[in-house]
């Protein structure tokens, strides 16, 4: 009996040792602690600040610029989650509760106005039962930044503040719930650290999903840039199809998402997806590094909002060069990196847009 117990213990230690030596399990765990959890925690904190800012603004203890700044912080944190959308936030249409894009028919404005007409004393419960179109940051942006609204006017402020406060409360609660699901036992973080589990039979499945969401996010950045550039409308610019066009934050959103994708690639200590390439694949890693640098530098060099760049030839030329750079980065990871790591990318959420 003792002999069997000893053998079982040794086998258990061997299995643990194998799991610890699995480079994909190591990378998955490193990305949880160095990239994923920090990003989700930053998003939760930004939404906490958004809710607090809304309460202060509507109480008259903070001004409109401060409210707008808190919104931009929340929006930037959300943009940074785009390449990290795995687990609970990617399920149950939760992401739609945060952002509604593309809004090709200006549904945000129409549904916000219809909701407030029917519910002038809007409550958080009313918002919870309403369309996702009015629950998130896109509706919040409309109220704070639309040129036809003036929240410095007391009457308009009184009309829209119940919605702002309800959205702030909703976003804060949603973020807290998602982060709790990440940190729970067992939760998303644990499922990315220890294999097998009910979500992933092995670490390779986790790495494959992380790469897929990264590739999908890069494709999404192309869509968010290409739509207002008119790439789907015979070259005719469509500035109102831009993400966050009212707040002129389209390019800062792109920068936040790109930086997050690059962190997934590098990891917090050179322990990201990049570290899974063998020595004979070093050249591919260098090409992807160079592609990230090129896209990042082109984006940083744009010193005007997207809407202004679309209005003249020089701006459109710069945007086309950025798009081409982003496309090269996307294709490198979608095809060559995926092949090198043995990952099937398949369809993503942006196919068919």
Delimit the domains of the chain by residue range: 34-191, 203-341
pLDDT tens for 176-235 read 999 999 999 999 999 999 999 999 999 999 999 999 999 999 999 999 999 999 998 788
- Mean predicted confidence (pLDDT) in 276-294: 98
301 within 8 A of 318, measured Cβ to Cβ: yes
Between 55-64, 132-141, 262-271, 343-352, the lowest mean confidence (pLDDT) is in 343-352
pLDDT tens for 310-330 read 999 999 999 999 999 999 999
pTM for the model: 0.92
Q: What is the pLDDT of residue 20?
A: 52
What does DSSP assign to residue 60? T
d(CA 328, CA 6): 55
Q: What is the 3-state secondary structure (H, E, C) of 134-196?
A: HCCHHHHHHHHHCCCCCCCCHHHHHHHHHHHHHHHHHHHHHHHHHHHHHHCCCCHHHHHHCCC
d(CA 332, CA 350): 18
Whether residue 272 is predicted with pLDDT greater than 60 in this model: the reply is yes
Class of domain 34-191 as given by CATH: mainly alpha
Residue of 70, 346, 57 whose CA lies nearest to 208: 346
Q: What is the pLDDT of residue 346?
A: 80
51 within 8 A of 168, measured Cβ to Cβ: yes
Q: Determine what percent of the chain is predicted with pLDDT higher than 90.
A: 90
* Average pLDDT of every residue of the chain: 93
């Amino acid at each position: 009996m003792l002999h069997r117990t000893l053998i079982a213990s040794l086998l258990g230690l061997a299995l643990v040792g194998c799991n610890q030596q699995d480079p994909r399990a190591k990378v998955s765990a490193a990305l949880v602690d160095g990239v994923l959890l920090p990003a989700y925690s930053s998003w939760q904190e930004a939404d906490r600040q958004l809710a607090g800012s809304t309460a202060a603004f509507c109480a008259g203890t903070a001004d409109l610029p401060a409210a707008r700044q808190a919104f931009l912080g929340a929006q930037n944190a959300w943009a940074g989650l785009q390449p990290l959308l795995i687990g609970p936030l990617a399920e149950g249409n939760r992401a739609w509760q945060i952002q509604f894009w593309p809004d090709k028919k200006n549904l945000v404005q129409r549904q916000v106005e219809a909701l407030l007409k029917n519910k002038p004393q809007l409550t958080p419960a009313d918002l919870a039962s309403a369309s996702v179109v009015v629950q998130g940051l896109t509706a919040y942006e409309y109220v704070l930044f639309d040129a036809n609204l003036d929240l410095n006017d007391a009457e308009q402020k009184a009309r829209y503040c119940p919605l702002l406060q309800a959205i702030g409360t909703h976003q804060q609660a949603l973020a807290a719930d998602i982060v709790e699901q990440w940190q729970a036992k067992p939760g998303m973080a644990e499922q990315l650290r220890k294999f097998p589990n009910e979500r992933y039979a092995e670490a390779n499945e986790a790495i494959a999903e992380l790469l897929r969401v990264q590739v999908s996010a890069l494709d999404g950045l192309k869509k968010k840039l290409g739509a207002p550039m008119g790439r789907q409308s015979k070259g005719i610019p469509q500035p109102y199809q831009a993400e966050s066009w009212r707040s002129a934050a389209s390019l800062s959103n792109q920068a936040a998402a790109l930086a997050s994708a690059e962190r997934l690639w590098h990891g917090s200590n050179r322990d990201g997806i990049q570290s899974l390439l063998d020595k004979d694949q070093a050249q591919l890693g260098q090409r992807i590094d160079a592609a990230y640098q090129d896209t990042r530098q082109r984006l940083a060099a744009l010193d005007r909002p997207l809407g202004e760049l679309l209005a003249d030839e020089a701006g459109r030329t710069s945007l086309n060069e950025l798009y081409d750079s982003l496309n090269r980065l996307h294709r490198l990871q979608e095809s060559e990196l995926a092949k090198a790591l043995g990952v099937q990318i398949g369809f993503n959420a942006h196919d068919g847009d």
